[in-house]
């Protein structure tokens, strides 16, 4: 502020002196520094599972993400995917925590919580894939993440739902994200908001972003069965294969079939 005041005084009292030019450059550099610092502010927490979508979001928005949070809710594949979430966060220098939601298998009904043999095979468009829905899973995770965000002085919670999720999962749809964001904004002092930038795009488009970012998708997990290797036949395996094929990415994932 002092620099700019002095600059104005010199402008009035003299011509374009060397000092005036110098102060102008100093002021311009100061503004650029402020803009960079503003851009680099880490204001968000991300729900990161360890799958393709959330890992892509993590890398794309790494400069504003202060923390990654994974939820162990007792699914067949949590033990396979969470280590990848941790690895990517550590590689990017982002704090990572895991929250245990061990109560969910006891009270919630879903094939995702009933063992590998309960997972149906086929495409997400098939009706039998609805059995993989864990009721209000994203609502629970977003509520907890919003509380952590407020406690940590952050402003946003990031979620990596995408357009292909909408048919099967009610808590991935645009209207849900909008309503939930309004709830967290209203129900927190700083007005925590949900950012879900992939809501309107496909998994292929996400894969293309990951390709541009240089992400190694072999260091992600998708299969709902959670066995040693991807099964290659459940809905999320089929979607993974199609996305990488259509994005022109060499798929080095080991599939059982």
Distance (Å, whole) CA 19 – CA 38: 29
Tracing tokens 């007005």 back to the chain, one arrives at: 191
Distance (Å, whole) CA 156 – CA 43: 6
| Strand ranges of the sheet holding 156-158, from the earlier edge strand across to the other edge | 95-100, 65-72, 44-47, 156-158, 193-195
List, in sequence order, every beta strand (DSSP E) within the chain: 44-47, 65-72, 95-100, 156-158, 193-195
Whether residue 60 contacts residue 36, with contact meaning beta carbons closer than 8 Å, is answered with no
The torsion of the CA quartet 11, 13, 19, 21, rounded to 10 degrees, works out to 20
How far is residue 98 CA from its own chain's centroid?
Answer: 15
pLDDT reported for residue 128: 72
pLDDT reported for residue 38: 43
Walking along the chain (257 residues) 10 residues at a time, the average pLDDT comes out as: 41 52 51 47 97 98 98 96 98 98 96 91 75 95 98 98 82 96 98 97 97 98 96 94 97 95
68 phi/psi in degrees, rounded to 5: -110, 135
pLDDT reported for residue 35: 43
């Amino acid at each position: 502020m002092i620099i700019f005041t002095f600059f104005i005084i010199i402008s009035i009292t003299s011509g374009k002196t060397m000092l005036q030019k110098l102060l102008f450059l100093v002021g311009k550099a100061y503004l650029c520094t402020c803009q960079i610092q503003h851009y680099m502010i880490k204001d968000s927490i991300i729900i990161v599972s360890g799958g393709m979508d959330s890992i892509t979001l993590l890398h794309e928005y790494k400069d504003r993400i202060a923390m990654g949070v994974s939820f162990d809710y007792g699914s067949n594949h949590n033990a396979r995917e969470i280590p990848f979430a941790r690895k990517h966060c550590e590689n990017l220098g982002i704090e990572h925590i895991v929250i245990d939601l061990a109560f969910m298998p006891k009270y919630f009904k879903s094939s995702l919580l009933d063992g590998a043999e309960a997972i149906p095979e086929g495409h997400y468009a098939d009706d039998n894939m609805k059995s993989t829905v864990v009721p209000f899973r994203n609502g629970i995770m977003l509520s907890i993440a919003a509380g952590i965000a407020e406690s940590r002085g952050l402003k946003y919670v990031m979620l990596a739902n995408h357009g292909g999720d909408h048919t099967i999962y009610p808590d991935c749809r645009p209207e849900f994200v909008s309503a939930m964001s309004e709830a967290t904004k209203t129900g927190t002092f700083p007005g925590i908001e949900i950012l879900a930038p992939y809501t309107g795009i496909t998994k292929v488009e996400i894969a293309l972003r990951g390709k541009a970012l240089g992400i190694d998708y072999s260091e992600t997990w998708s299969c709902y069965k959670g066995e040693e290797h991807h099964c290659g036949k459940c809905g999320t395996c089929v979607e993974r294969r199609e996305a990488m094929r259509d994005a022109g990415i060499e798929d080095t994932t080991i599939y059982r079939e």
